[in-house]
Amino acid sequence: MSLKDKDFSTSDLYNAIAANNFPSWTWYVQLMPEKDADNYRFDILDITKVWPHSDYPLVKVGKMTLNRNPENYHAEVEQSAFTPSHLVPGIEPSNDKMLQGRLFSYPDTHRYRLGKNYNQIPINCPYRARVESLVRDGAATVNGNYGGVVNYEPNSHPGSAKEDPSAAWAKFPVTG
């Protein structure tokens, strides 16, 4: 196929979506209670191992569907920044060494590739939300720079960002 179209995969995806033949994927996870983790028959964070489905069956989370093509490829695809460190409150990362490395390296890569304000780029900003970030000014500021809001904490200015203790991650036991 690459002899006919060197970008066959991208073209095929684009054409399928344009024809309302939306590609979709069913999304599953495996869940293990924390109490099982310490005594499981192998290290549950060993990336060379797979948790048997008989012990921890797949749980359907939902379905992901690509239902539109980008209108501006650069703005909606080339500038997108996906990272496992973008977590919603209540979801926390595990101690998996590969994940821990990615929590650091993905945002670092995005800062290099897109600039320190990559979370202000519309494709990376939560839908209809303003990113509450104390990172501002400098290259690639795209959102009005938060006006006169101070960019440090703690401070005495009303309406400025404050640490939210309820958003702190849970403490995990360290042994050995």
State pLDDT tens for residues 136-150: 676 667 777 767 777
Tokens for 136?
């501002």
Yes or no: say if 77 and 43 are a contact pair by the CB < 8 Å rule.
no
Q: What is the mean pLDDT of residues 160-169?
A: 78
**Does the pLDDT at position 135 exceed 70?**
no
Torsion sign across C-alpha atoms 97, 98, 103, 109: positive
Of residues 134, 164, 167, the one with CA closest to residue 152: 134
pTM of the complete model? 0.68
Question: Apex CA 66: angle with CA 89 and CA 123, to 5°?
Answer: 55
H or E element in which residue 12 lies = helix 8-18
* pLDDT band, residue 24 (cuts 50/70/90): very high
Cis peptide before 154 (omega within 30 of 0): yes
* Domain ranges for the chain: 1-69, 71-162
pLDDT score at 64: 96
Of residues 1, 26, 65, the one with CA closest to residue 11: 1
